């Protein structure tokens, strides 16, 4: 029942985002707070899975016009995926840096990687990849669709680099 509730909540969230029913609370604010909060919330999950979680933030405030709650959700989804697909003893590093007039967020892991044939589909709703493994079977295939939708609403871009057994790097600008 909890899993169905979680799935329904994510579907409703994505539907609202895609239909324009969600209004962003855009304001110039320090993006470090949203990133730091999302990473800190993921620390216990990383510890349980035996994955090292680290973040690299700029020393000075990085004021960017954004919706702090939604950008926190973007980072939380990317970090949760990175932890889920990284084996025990691996690592996930979240880096925030200035990029022109905006910012760049990188979530890099030493995980299982994504096959090149799957890359065009990973941001599609319900897509979980063709490799049957424990991590993929435990997800809904909605997290990256939500990430893409929120980033698009901010006028940003989402990129991914990955190779099988070589980890992945998701970048949001």
More confident residue, 12 or 130: 12
3-class DSSP string for 78-112: HHHHHHHCCCCCCEEEEEEEEECCEEEEEEEECCC
- Of 115, 117, 48, 40, nearest to 79 (Cα)? 40
Q: DSSP characters for 11-76?
A: HHHHHHHHHT-PPP--EEEEHHHHHHHHHHHHHHHHHHHT-EEEEE--SS--EEEE-HHHHHHHHH
Please tell me the pTM assigned to this model.
0.90
- Mind listing the pLDDT tens digit for each residue in 93-151? 999 999 999 999 999 999 999 999 999 999 998 888 765 454 555 677 889 999 999 99
- Of 160, 159, 161, 155, nearest to 71 (Cα)? 155
Q: 162: part of which helix (H) or strand (E)?
A: strand 158-162
Average pLDDT of the residues in 77-99: 97
**Which residues make Cβ contacts (< 8 Å) with residue 24, sequence separation at least 6?**
67, 70, 153, 154
């Amino acid at each position: 029942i909890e899993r169905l509730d979680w799935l329904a909540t994510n579907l409703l969230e994505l539907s609202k985002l895609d239909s324009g029913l969600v209004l962003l609370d855009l304001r110039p604010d320090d993006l470090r707070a949203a990133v730091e909060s999302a990473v800190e919330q993921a620390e216990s999950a990383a510890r349980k899975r035996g994955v090292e979680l680290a973040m690299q933030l700029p020393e000075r405030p990085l004021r960017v016009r954004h919706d702090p709650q939604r950008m926190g959700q973007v980072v939380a989804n990317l970090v949760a995926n990175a932890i889920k697909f990284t084996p025990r003893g691996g690592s996930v590093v979240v880096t925030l840096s200035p990029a022109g007039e905006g910012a760049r967020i990188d979530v890099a892991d030493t995980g299982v990687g994504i096959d090149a044939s799957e890359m065009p589909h990973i941001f599609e709703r319900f897509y979980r990849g063709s490799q049957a493994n424990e991590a993929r079977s435990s997800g809904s295939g909605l997290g990256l669709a939500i990430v893409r939708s929120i980033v698009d609403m901010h006028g940003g871009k989402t990129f991914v680099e990955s190779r099988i057994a070589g980890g992945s790097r998701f970048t949001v600008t």
